[in-house]
Structure 1
Amino acid sequence: MEYNYKELEDISEFLKVLAHPVRLCIVRGLLSNGGCNVSHMQNCLGVPQSTVSQHLQKLRTAGIIEGERRGFEIIYKVVDQRTAKLIDVLINKEGQ
């Protein structure tokens, strides 16, 4: 068997970023709603805004989400299609 170790390492890091219940909840919510701001996420999750912001930073750094400024707020949305497919398989369980 031949493995591209760098590619597997990148996938492993991607999965580590998603491997937190709050981040999974954020991503699932963004996919369901098409995007939203930090205040909306904070209200849905029931955690402090600073906690949401920390999780958003990890997701942004991994290239999973992006934010678009609209006036005084930033609307976040999922931009990584692997993430959408993975959430469908793991959480939404499409096809079952």
Structure 2
Amino acid sequence: VRRSHVGSFGMGVATAWQGKGVGSRLLGAALEVADNWMNLHRVELTVYADNEAAHRLYHKFGFETEGLLRDYAVRDGAFVDTLTMARIRKPA
């Protein structure tokens, strides 16, 4: 299966910088590279299911939730769910 059209993305913003537009600027810059340098058609990521601020950010940039991954990660010693999300670039 050929997947050269797909890229995975992950990011984090330090607590002190949250709510100040840093996430939007980071994600905007990453998608600029994905679209205009790497020519990716699909960008995918996983995010903690309870991170509503991140969900809003990703939706703002066109990401859609594709699925729930139950007990996918361990955070603070407990299993937590994550969502898998993707953004499909529309043809110009």
TM-score by length of 2: 0.32
Higher relative contact order (CA 8 A, sep 6+): 2
TM-score by length of 1: 0.31
Greater fraction of residues in strand: 2
